[in-house]
Amino acid sequence: MWAQRSWVGRWFPKDTRSGEELIPYATWCTSVEGNTTHYAPPKLETVERWAELVPEHFRFCFKVPRSVTHERRLRNVAQEIDSFLDLLAPVRNNLGPVQLQLPATFGPDDLPVLADACRNLPRSVEWAVETRHPDFSAGGRLERSLNDLLAEQGINRVTLDSRTLFNVPPVTALEKEAWERKPRLGVRPVTTASQPLVRIIGATNPRTTIDGWSQWVPKIAQWCESGVTPHVFIHTPDNHDSPSLARHFHADVSALVDLDPLPEPMTSEEQLDLFG
């Protein structure tokens, strides 16, 4: 997600044109979730344009279309996955893990289907799997089986941490919507391959979000020291402050381990205070 117009004039330059938000975004952050591809594949010319707008080090972590994960539930999807990867060819050098975000109804009985799908995924790209069935995040035998499967196949696991969101009673309409839509799952940080994804769902108040990610900072630093390359995404109900929060998280981790510096951000002339 990068085309949030509320960031223009707040974090991005005021003259940022619609359709070009990716240019300043790539100076604030070094990777992004491609959530829109989950709902509809983009046009090839759109993907080609994305490739032109980002630097070499930038990474896209796209989600495969929901027709693969939610409608066909990973069954007989080889052709559709190949077509999706062909569509992403213009940004191949900028790809992080391609994500399979599975529905909450994809449960323990579907584990053999996931195993078969993982064995047959093209290895021209890195992959990541997100499960939302609570049994896969309960810390028991099923979660261990899932982790073992992903590790055996060299596929990353996506960890969604919504604890901070649910620690604060909802007040605004967006907070209430987030409470209704976001999953509540157990959180056990794990690496099953070299590029784990962590999705932190915070609160509207930036300070609450920052306090809530404190347990993640040493874990991410530990992963980086071990040679793992995590992708961490910070979300809040309104996402108004996400670019600045992402850089704040990077600074917290950098205090514990040497990281490559982030780019100099393109900013609004009247930069707003994160806590203002």
Q: What is the 3-state secondary structure (H, E, C) of 146-184?
A: HHHHHHHHCCEEEEEECHHHHCCCCCCHHHHHHHHHCCC
Nearest CA among 86, 139, 131, 140 for reference residue 111: 131
Going by DSSP bridges, is the β-strand pair 156-161/127-130 parallel, antiparallel, or unpaired? Answer: parallel
Question: What per-residue confidence (pLDDT) applies to 270?
Answer: 54
Question: What per-residue confidence (pLDDT) applies to 273?
Answer: 59
Q: How many CA atoms lie within 13 A of 193 on its CB side?
A: 23
Range 92-112 burial, b when 16+ CB lie within 10 A, else e = eebbbbbbbbbeeebbeebbe
Question: What per-residue confidence (pLDDT) applies to 1?
Answer: 78
Domains of the chain: 5-254 (3.20.20.410)
Nearest CA among 65, 30, 60 for reference residue 47: 60
Question: What per-residue confidence (pLDDT) applies to 193?
Answer: 98
Question: What per-residue confidence (pLDDT) applies to 272?
Answer: 55
Question: What per-residue confidence (pLDDT) applies to 13?
Answer: 94
Question: What per-residue confidence (pLDDT) applies to 275?
Answer: 58
Cβ atoms 158, 199 nearer than 8 A? yes
Question: What per-residue confidence (pLDDT) applies to 274?
Answer: 66
SS3 222: helix
Question: What per-residue confidence (pLDDT) applies to 268?
Answer: 75
Residue type, 23: I
| pLDDT, tens digit only, all 276 positions of the chain | 798 889 999 999 999 999 999 999 999 999 999 899 999 999 999 999 999 999 999 999 999 999 999 999 999 999 999 999 999 999 999 999 999 999 999 999 999 999 999 999 999 999 999 999 999 999 999 999 999 999 999 999 999 999 999 999 999 999 999 999 999 999 999 999 999 999 999 999 999 999 999 999 999 999 999 999 999 999 999 999 999 999 999 999 999 999 999 999 998 765 555 655
